[in-house]
Structure 1
């Protein structure tokens, strides 16, 4: 059975609780003071300080964040999420980083953020977990706007790339050396000039790459340029491991604490100068020879001029003859045109007479013949005769004349009967020929009118030509 506490025990416990309450109150006041100082510090920072919970909703953003994002404090703390202020492209990596923070890790990275008005800026973030006891209940961090720095870095990178491309595209060799004449950078033309790769040159002293530099005194001159800042230029012969001695124009000037060297291969220029001098000597010799040749040429030219004048006179006389012949030809052409016109008129008159004779002298008797007692075969012949006469007097006959000329008389008969719907058997009976012979003619007709290897119906094709 538990003993009942005495008054003394109760008094000691009460005093202990009162002491703990006082200590707890002091701790709370110290915590509030510390939090007040922390808030005051964060509100005075130019960087953005933020906190958000497990749902990604902001629970705190300092004044710098409110100003940067363009939202009011009420809008931010009223449900604005982290994903609302991050571009779509950066949301996936942001989720992964937040996931790591809720595992107790920290995260550092760069993201592209969205302001309320839709504009963007690049920020560098440093985030860590917020603990409650042993549990991670949120994320806190600092966000710094590095847009200007990024733009500067990009501008510097682009400038360096342009400079590198410019240097590499240059025909002259460019080399940068430090204050001790060790190579810092060279372009492609300089690589070719030295005859070794850039990786083999960088970091080495110029005396290792060009052993003659000290013997010629250029080494001391380079050091003097670095010391005084006075540039110098010189033309010299430099040994090349592959091409032998090369004539090089060298210009040295101070760059920062180091040296810049521009080399121009003037080997071809030197060769050209030598060749030019040889050409001058040769020219003088040839001028003398040419002077003598010109004297002879002038004499020959005088003779040629006299001959040309004679030829020109003959050409003028022939021109007059041609003019007379031209007039004669024009008169002949006029006469021919008159004859052709007369022939066309005669042709038209003949056609009119043929048509008149067929219609007035033949057609009436054919009509009477049709009305006389004829058997079926005779009627068939009569119909064909009437159709052919109609074709002769119709525009169809005139249009068919060009391809009819390709057919034999029998083929023309067969073509006409096909056009009128006669079968091979009926055509054979009309013409007293075998069916095989008619098929042979049909094949020849198809070939001559250009439908041999086509699936076109022969009768349809003939009718389409009307």
Structure 2
């Protein structure tokens, strides 16, 4: 008789405990994720609206059925089933599965009796397919951007090699000029033409670099950042989104944009002089290249310092520009 009473009390406890959980229908139905109560024998005891609507069945068609049969069409639990793990550990289990082309995070939390024995599971299935697809799209966009940057970098390195070769040739020509006076006027004219060509090449390379950085920035803003904004809605990805955005913004930084961010933008002429000052050219060198007086160059330098907030400050303009 005591054994029967003990068994009866245990049965009553289990029914009462499950009765409390089974009464949470409104809470279950309000959830967007699939929530269900599963017995330790894998029978469906309760399932919310999201669950039976996703399965395309009525609640009465699911209750009492094995979860692995109605969900996966199998005769036993799938490999990695969190309920199976929870049966062994008596602690919450979680796993990620792919089923019918969709990705899910599946969790199982144990429901214990007064003797710490499992009587059922609180089972949750969260569809993360959109997040997985967004992460894949982000990686693809980032890989393509890296390939484009590498290709453009190779082009710039080729141009730089050509530029070095021409500079070397110019120096050799200057040495030859010092050894002979014959044809001095003609050779000086040729050197002048080479100087003009070199300045044009340098200017073109500078414009190409600026255009490339602007293109990368626009690509990031139009292709990558919208994906990141959608991923921000997923709390699990917030930190990952913040770090990745930080690195992408650093990659897209631009010297030309930085020096024109002040309250007064630099004129094209001032931008050109900034490039020469950054290259450590003297006022005399700049005046010669621009065909203006040294006083005009000095006036422009003062205007540039004012616009960059360096007036009356003991900061070297050339060093400041190189640090940008």
- After TM superposition, the score normalised by the length of structure 1 is 0.30
Larger C-alpha radius of gyration, 1 or 2?
Answer: 1
The structure whose residues are more often strand, as a share, is 1
Name the structure, 1 or 2, with higher relative contact order (CA <8 Å, separation 6+): 2
